[in-house]
Amino acid sequence: VRGVDIFTYRGEYDKGYEDLREQMEPIFIANWKMNLFEKEALAFVRDLAVPKTGSVIIAPPATLLFPLKQAIKGKSLALCGQNFFFEEKGAYTGELSASQLKDSGASYALIGHSERRHYFNESDAWIHQKLKSALAHHLIPILCVGETLDEKEEGKEEEVLSKQLHTALEGSDEKALSSLVIAYEPVWAIGTGLAADLFLIERGHAFIRKWLEKHYPAIATKIPILYGGSVNEKNAASFLSLQEVAGLLVGGASLAAPPFNAIIRS
Ligand code: 13P
């Protein structure tokens, strides 16, 4: 299957999920990571196009949440925190809580992004606590999962995804999880310019969907699964053509309005 024309490939893993796409409008997330200043952020919002369908969420650095909360008034845009600490409040210098994220205008929060896992040693146990804290404060969690290059080369993708899902979601009430969004971001595809091919994306997404069906049958088909990793204006349409891809989590190509507009209009 690999090496086929990605613009025409419709794969085996999409079978059985044909109607999922009709139920879910695509979600586009601009994850700015540690980039941009207030002036650029405001210009981005000013120049942002309206997506063909679906919704747009901006995940700015925490310093830009408040100004963006003002700037997006009257627009159909939402904000997402890139990070928070799971404790309610207290002596945690440098941290901010889920309720502070909410207060600053965020309705979503990224949890378990590979950069937090790898540069800041965030463990699965922490990710679990953060997920619980997000749900308790009605912040919609965007749980990021994905294997590293080594894990991929050892054929451990499913083992890794399953462990990440298990530890993050374990013990959570099925009903509470109905707002959950999952992003499949293979670590080797993040910031490398090497996006996963359609086969791998379908396979990863189908595995996550099957895992959800097994453990949370009542809500499994309601949970959007996004793809992230070197998404750009050239490959976005092909990813969105997969039934299982309910949206895109975009890093580098979301740092300016023109490439991101091309993605949300594709
Ligand atoms: P890039 O789009 O820069 O590869 O980043 C992906 C990502 O990590 C989004 O969260």
Asked if residue 104 has pLDDT above 80, the reply is yes
Express each pLDDT in 79-90 by its tens digit: 999 999 999 999
What average pLDDT does the structure give for the chain? 91
Q: Report residue 182 CA to chain centroid gap.
A: 6
**Nearest ligand 1 atom, CA 189:** 4
* Cα of 221 from ligand 1 centre, angstroms: 25
Q: Mean of the pLDDT values across residues 191-216?
A: 94
pLDDT at 23 over 80: no
Number of helices (H), then strands (E), belonging to the chain: the values are: 11, 8
Place of tokens 């997000």: 134
Contact status, residue 104 vs residue 64, Cβ threshold 8 Å: no
Q: What is the pLDDT of residue 5?
A: 35
- Classify residue 72 as exposed, middle or buried by CB count within 10 Å of its CB (0-12, 13-18, 19+): middle
Q: CB count, 10 Å around CB of 90?
A: 8
Pocket of ligand 1 (CB under 6 A): 31, 113, 185, 190-191, 228-231, 249-253
- Note the pLDDT of residue 24: 79
Mean pLDDT of 102-114: 97
Q: Which numbered atom of ligand 1 lies nearest the CA of 192?
A: 4
Q: Indicate if the pLDDT at residue 132 is higher than 60.
A: yes
Using one digit for the tens of pLDDT, what is the confidence trace for 170-186? 999 898 999 999 999 99
Measured distance CA(155)–CA(232) in Å, rounded: 27
Nearest to 141 by CA among 173, 176, 190: 176
Which among 222, 219, 262, 212 is positioned nearest to 240, based on CA atoms? 262
Helix pair 157-169, 198-215: axis angle to 10 deg? 40
| Per annotation, catalytic residue among 115, 185, 202, 244 | 185
